[in-house]
Amino acid sequence: MDPLQEARNLLVRRWGEMGGYWGINRTMAEIYALLFVTRESLCTDQIMDQLKISRGNASMNVRALVDWGLIERVHRLGDRKEYFKADTDVWHMFETIMRERRRREVEPILATLQRCTELVNPEQADLSSLNDEDVDEFRRRVSELMTFLTTMGTLFEMVLESGDGGMKSLVQGFSNIAPPAPSKTGA
């Protein structure tokens, strides 16, 4: 195997492993990575062959990647097959994945926390049979969690609105306020 193919395969495998941490399945991550590192667009058969996956698995995950906007369909003149290529804008990929994760994970938990708050609201429920300290502590913890998630959502939006250039400036700004390294004593 040539070094370029070996490097591609390694990246596809590692990206697939990382996919679980980003909230997407391994195959979906591997397909994206394969298309990302391949200059030419690929058809479903080529994706299946290179990743050793079934047609159903390939089709389902390609459809999801198209729906997310991470890959696009490419038609070749005189060829009936559909080909696919990745959006290679790394910032757009990050933004798309983060927005989708927010929609699928954060927004539902915020709605659940809001419902939990309503359930223990003394104006809406009879809490007389419950321990006041337990109810107060529950409300406090839920409120702190909602505040944290909302704050992180605001920070997330600020990062996305700043774009790639703004993100680089933000990182530089944070590096300027980083705590100093521990001093070495006894030298």
Secondary structure class of 155 (helix, strand, coil): helix
Structure-token pair, residue 61: 């995950």
Task: Give the CATH number for residue 12.
Answer: 1.10.10.10
pLDDT value of position 181: 65
Angle at 52 between CA 33 and CA 29, to 5 degrees: 25
In this structure, the answer to whether residues 136 and 112 fall within a common structural domain is yes
pLDDT value of position 109: 93
pLDDT value of position 185: 59
- Tell whether 12 is covered by a domain: yes
In this structure, the answer to whether residues 94 and 50 fall within a common structural domain is no
Q: Are 101 and 119 in contact (CB under 8 A)?
A: no
pLDDT value of position 116: 93
In one-letter notation, the amino acid at residue 21 is Y
pLDDT value of position 24: 81
- Tell whether 186 is covered by a domain: no
Q: Could you say which residues of the chain have pLDDT below 70?
A: 178-187
In this structure, the answer to whether residues 127 and 74 fall within a common structural domain is no
pTM over 0.85: no
pLDDT value of position 66: 96
Structural domain count of the chain: 2
pLDDT value of position 61: 97
pLDDT value of position 143: 95
- Tell whether 179 is covered by a domain: no
In this structure, the answer to whether residues 7 and 82 fall within a common structural domain is yes
Read off the pLDDT of residues 128-149 as tens digits, 9 standing for 90 and up: 888 888 888 999 999 999 999 9
Domain of 14, in residue numbers:
3-86
Structure-token pair, residue 156: 């997330």
Nearest to 4 by CA among 29, 30, 39: 39
pLDDT value of position 157: 83
- Tell whether 152 is covered by a domain: yes
- Tell whether 114 is covered by a domain: yes
In this structure, the answer to whether residues 94 and 71 fall within a common structural domain is no
The span from the CA of 23 to the CA of 108, in Å, is 14
